[in-house]
């Protein structure tokens, strides 16, 4: 699996996003489009960024009954994204339906990865709000194994979990890891962070980097630093 740096384009408008991407001129970084931008700018923003030659991870975290997710995934595969995701909590059946919907008539499909437990969920909220009593690390691993059983390609997880996921689900099961910061950078609201070099060492397949690139004085230089540390 080719390692890559994915830039989280957490902007609220098409103009802001395209102005940001214009800075990269010849380079075509892998781009993550999340709910904020997708709901603000609609599917056209995906088509436009794709037409400019970028790969796209569409991060919409689907979670609904299997039939609805299957149909929604079919629409997303027509948008020609390269990677998309859902919540593993939707059950193995929902994940199987999603894969079915995502697969195009010619048999190709975008990568499909699962969110296990959100990093904003902690042991206490899982127990109190969701009535799940097991240790969170076990829940994450169980959800990752469910995703693998359903035929998915990997999971989004904290860089600190990537090694364990590979041990439990195999090296070819993709780990996509946000929470990346430069050693000399600001952590912002991310609590458990790793540098791109550390993420490489523990075997992440893709890192998702937002503010350290989007808010940098020189975003292209910050992106290139990520690539140097993580990929080269
Ligand atoms: O700006 P920053 O590098 O923290 O952005 C990280 C990106 O990864 C954001 O788009 C955030 O929503 C996403 N993400 C995350 N933690 C997760 C899942 C997704 O930070 N567990």
Given a cut of 70, whether residue 219 has pLDDT beyond it is yes
d(CA 203, CA 222): 21
Atom of ligand 1 nearest to the CA of 119: 21
| CATH number listed for the domain at residues 4-230 | 3.20.20.70
For the chain, domain boundaries: 4-230
pLDDT at position 96, please? Answer: 98
- Name residues contacting ligand 1 (CB within 6 A): 8, 10, 34, 118-119, 156, 178-179, 188, 190, 208-212
Enumerate helices (H) and strands (E) in the chain, giving the number of each.
11, 8
pLDDT at position 70, please? Answer: 98
pTM: 0.95
Nearest-CA residue for atom 16 of ligand 1 = 178
Burial zone of 171 (CB within 10 Å; 0-12 exposed, 13-18 middle, 19+ buried): exposed
Which stretch of 9-23, 46-60, 120-134, 184-198 has the lowest confidence by average pLDDT? 184-198
d(CA 97, CA 53): 29
164 is catalytic: no
Give the pLDDT mean for 87-99.
98
Closest CA to 59 of 92, 74, 37: 37
Q: How many residues does the chain have?
A: 232
Give the pLDDT mean for 115-129.
90
Q: How many A from CA of 179 to the centre of ligand 1?
A: 6
Mean residue pLDDT across the chain: 95
Closest CA to 154 of 170, 136, 135, 137: 170
pLDDT at position 1, please? Answer: 63
pLDDT tens per residue across span 2-17: 799 999 999 999 999 9
């Amino acid at each position: 699996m080719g390692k890559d740096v994915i830039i989280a384009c957490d902007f609220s408008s098409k103009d802001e996003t395209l102005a940001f991407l214009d800075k990269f001129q010849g380079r075509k970084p892998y781009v993550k489009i999340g709910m904020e931008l997708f709901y603000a700018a609609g599917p056209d923003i995906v088509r436009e960024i794709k037409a400019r030659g970028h790969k796209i991870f569409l991060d919409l975290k689907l979670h609904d009954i299997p039939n609805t997710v299957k149909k929604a995934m079919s629409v997303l595969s027509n948008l020609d994204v390269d990677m998309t995701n859902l919540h593993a909590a939707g059950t193995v059946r929902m994940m199987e339906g999603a894969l079915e919907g995502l697969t195009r008539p010619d048999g190709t499909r975008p990568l499909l990865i699962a969110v296990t437990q959100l990093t904003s969920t902690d042991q206490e909220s899982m127990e109190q709000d969701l009535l799940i009593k097991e240790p969170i690390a076990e829940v994450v691993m169980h959800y990752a194994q469910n995703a693998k059983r359903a035929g998915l390609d990997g999971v989004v997880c904290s860089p600190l979990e990537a090694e364990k996921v590979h041990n439990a689900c195999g090296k070819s099961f993709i780990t996509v890891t946000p929470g990346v910061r430069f050693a000399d950078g600001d952590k912002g609201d991310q609590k458990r962070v790793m540098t791109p070099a550390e993420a490489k060492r523990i075997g992440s397949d893709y890192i998702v980097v937002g503010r350290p690139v989007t808010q940098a004085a020189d975003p292209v230089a910050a992106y290139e630093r990520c690539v140097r540390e993580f990929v080269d």
